[in-house]
Structure 1
Amino acid sequence: MTAVDIVVIVAGLFFGYRLVSNYLSPNTSREQTRQDANPPPKEAPRQQWERHWEPVTPNAPAWFDVLGVVETADLAQIEYAYRVKISQYHPDKVAQMGEDIRQLAEAKSKEINAAYETAVRLRRR
């Protein structure tokens, strides 16, 4: 084995390593500059049907927390919990009270109704 053979082997190993590492590593400097030059859009345009699936509030609690049941509750337990909660916070029950209490009851009843609809939709799948 001569010195030329050793140099050719080392050069082949080096270029082979560089070629494989460029194809396998996802974050190369060229890709980083491309990502910096073209930032992703803020929010993709939504379809009409996607707008109706948003929660009532962005940080809304889970449906089972709102209704006060476990996540694995059956439909009968969910309906019972819904009836108990909505009877507490129904706007008609607090119609004679102050404006701020009526607004609070209305917001809470909307949250309870949204949680119940979500639970029923998930159970009927």
Structure 2
Amino acid sequence: MRNQSMIRRTVLAAGLTAAFALIPLSQVAAQDASADGSMQRSNQTVPDKAADAWITTKVKSEFGTSKAVKATDVSVTTVDGMVTLSGNVGSAQEKADAVRVAKSVKGVKGVDASALTVNASAEH
């Protein structure tokens, strides 16, 4: 009985690990599919795209664990190591925290937060 339970847990853990390992690859595919509907060719190689997807995933997860940034209101995209943040934040401090958190992720070459707007009604 204990062996069956242990085997189930091991198989479940292995399945979850495999599923989480595929997330960056699925994001690469999604980014390719949603390239503004155009058929533009990118000079990025597959490893570069995978690295960008990993950076995007890591930035989002850092936002999720940070109390300073409301992760659900911030979108993250990465191209050639450059992270672009967009969406709405509640204050200028939250915007600064989002930039700081994104810059702290390994592999990030720079952060563009020009599309990240401060919601004026939430600031007061």
* Normalised TM-score (structure 2): 0.25
Structure (1 or 2) with the greater strand fraction? 2
Structure (1 or 2) with the greater helix fraction? 1
Question: Which protein, 1 or 2, shows the higher relative CO under an 8 Å CA cutoff with sep ≥ 6?
Answer: 1
* Normalised TM-score (structure 1): 0.25
Structure number with greater Rg is 1
